[in-house]
Amino acid sequence: MGATIAEKILAHKSGKIRVEPGEIIDAEVDYIMINDVTGLPAFDVFREFGEKTQPIREKSVLIPDHYVPNKDIPSAEQAKAMREFAWKYKTHYFEVGRSGVCHQLMIEKGFVAPGRLIIGADSHTCSYGALGAFSTGVGSTEAASAMALGRLWFRIPETQKFVVEGKAGKNVMGKDIILHIIGDIGVDGALYKAMEFYGSAIEALPLADRITISNMAIEAGGKAGIIPPDDTVFRYLDGRVKGSYKPVYADRDAGYSEVFEYDAEDIPPTVAKPFLPSNTSPASELGNITIEQAYLGSCTNGRIEDLRVAADILKNRKVHPNVRMIIVPATQDVYEKALNEKLIEIFIKAGAFFSGPTCGACLGGYMGVLAKGERAISSTNRNFIGRMGHKDSEVYLANPKVVTASAVTGRITDPDELD
C-alpha cells in the first residue's frame, strides 16, 4: 500500500523510508511560528533551558497579531516581551506596520512551501496545508522546545480523503465547501487525522479559498488540512518562497481511513449557526435572522480576494443603518492592495469601518467585540459561546459574499437576493 501526503512528509522529515499511522517519530521542523498570545509562555519555557541555549534563528518566526496595535497595558507588555526576545536572539520578527495576521503573513513572506513541515503555537497553523505543506498547531511548550532543538515528536495521523467534484455556484466560495464538510462530519469528525482535499471543484479554487479550507480543518478536529500543490501554488511561490522545496503527492494506492465524496453543485452559500461550526444551514433559509454586526477579516477570510468580492457587492450600495460593518485586511500587503485598487474608498462610501490588520475581533479581544444580545455574521472560523464577546451574543459564520450581502440588508442574506 502506498503513502498519503502527510505520511510522506513526516517520513522524510524523520529520516524514515515509511511511517505508519499511530507511529511516534522525531522529525526535523522547517519553521516554528509564535504569536503574541502564545509567545510569553513559550519564552518562559525556553529560558528554562538555560542561558547557553540559543533558538535556531532561521527557523523561528515571531509575529505579533492578536492584540495589535496594543489595546491596553497588559497587551503592550506582552508585545514588548516578544519584541525583546526577537531582538536578543535575532529571530525572524515582523513589527506592527510591516506585519499582519500570522498565518497569512507566513504564506506571503515565503516561509510556506510544498513538502515542508511547519508548526505554530496557534491552532490555525493548519492553513499552510493549502500549499501542500504539513502544518499543525502545537502548544507553547512544544514550540519552545522546537526553537531550541529544531525538532519535535509527532504521532503519525490517519488520513481522510475528501473529494469535491463539479462546478460550484457563483456565490459559493471555499468557506462554503469546508462548512459543508464540517456540517457533514461534525467538529470531531477528523479528530487527530490529516484531511486531504481533492477533486475538480478544489482544483478550480483560487489559492485564497484553498487557504480558507485548510484553515478550518482544525474545526473538524483535524491535525492538518492538505491540498496537493499545483500550478496555482507554484505561480504564487515564484520569486516569493524562501529556499528550495519539493512537492509531495499521495500515491495512487495510498491508504485512507475514510473517503468522502461531494458534488459541488449541491453546496449552497452556507452559514454555521451558534454555537458550533458544524451547525450549518443554507444562507437562503436564515433570512429572518437580523444582525447588528458584519465582520470581514481574519486568517480565514481577510485576503485581497475576499475584499474584492465585498467591494463588488458594496459598490453603489450602503451598509444597513442598523448594522456596523467592520473590514480588516489580513496583512499590510493586503491593506496596500486594497488602497491601490480603491477598495477602501468603496467601503468608506458604503458606511463600513476599515482598519489595519489585527486578529482582535475574531477572538473577542477588541476591534469588534459583541455586547450582550448582539448578533454578528462573520467571516472568521469559530462561533463558540462568547467567542467574539459577551456569552449571550451570537456569531454566525459565512463566506465574505454572505457577510457583505447581510451587511446591506441587515439580516442574513444569500447574495443571490442582490443579483
Instruction: Judge if 68 and 212 occupy the same domain.
Output: yes
63-98, pLDDT tens digit by residue? Answer: 999 999 999 999 999 999 999 999 999 999 999 999
pLDDT tops 90 at residue 274:
yes
Give the count of domains, the chain. Answer: 2
Instruction: Judge if 258 and 276 occupy the same domain.
Output: no
pLDDT tops 90 at residue 254:
yes
pLDDT tops 90 at residue 1:
no
Instruction: Judge if 253 and 302 occupy the same domain.
Output: no
Q: Which residues contact 119 (CB under 8 A, 6 or more apart)?
A: 29, 31, 32, 33, 125, 135, 136, 137, 138, 142, 143, 146, 152
**Domain end position, chosen among 228, 262, 296:** 262
Neighbours of 22 (CB within 10 A): 9
Instruction: Judge if 282 and 193 occupy the same domain.
Output: no
Instruction: Judge if 314 and 391 occupy the same domain.
Output: yes
**Range(s) of the domain holding residue 66:** 5-262
Lowest-confidence pick of 6-10, 364-368, 370-374, 398-402:
364-368
| Mean pLDDT of the region 284-291 | 97
CATH of the domain at 171: 3.30.499.10
CB 33 within 8 A of CB 61: yes
Residue 307, H or E segment: helix 304-314
Report pLDDT for 51.
83
Place of cell 513589527: 95
Report pLDDT for 31.
98
pLDDT tops 90 at residue 52:
no
Burial class (CB in 10 A: 0-12, 13-18, 19+), 234: middle
Instruction: Judge if 92 and 148 occupy the same domain.
Output: yes
**Domain end position, chosen among 241, 262, 283:** 262
Instruction: Judge if 206 and 302 occupy the same domain.
Output: no
Instruction: Judge if 256 and 393 occupy the same domain.
Output: no
Grid coordinates belonging to 41: 509562555
Separation of alpha carbons 254 and 273, rounded Å: 36
Instruction: Judge if 160 and 15 occupy the same domain.
Output: yes
237-252, pLDDT tens digit by residue? Answer: 999 999 999 999 999 9
Rg (CA), the chain: 21
Separation of alpha carbons 19 and 93, rounded Å: 34
Neighbours of 243 (CB within 10 A): 10
Instruction: Judge if 38 and 111 occupy the same domain.
Output: yes
pLDDT tops 90 at residue 304:
yes
Which strands, in side-by-side order, build the sheet including 134-137?
92-93, 60-63, 31-35, 117-120, 134-137
Report pLDDT for 21.
97
Among residues of the chain, what percentage have pLDDT more than 90? 98
Place of cell 474545526: 219
Report pLDDT for 116.
98
Closest by CA position to 314, among listed 203, 415, 222, 200: 415
**Domain end position, chosen among 262, 280, 297:** 262
Number of residues in the chain: 419
151-210, pLDDT tens digit by residue? Answer: 999 999 999 999 999 999 999 999 999 999 999 999 999 999 999 999 999 999 999 999
Instruction: Judge if 105 and 224 occupy the same domain.
Output: yes
Q: What is the DSSP letter of 315?
A: T
Instruction: Judge if 179 and 109 occupy the same domain.
Output: yes
Check whether the bond before 277 is cis (ω within 30° of 0). Answer: no
User: Measured at the alpha carbon of residue 278, what is the angle toward residues 5 and 9, in degrees to the nearest 5?
Assistant: 10
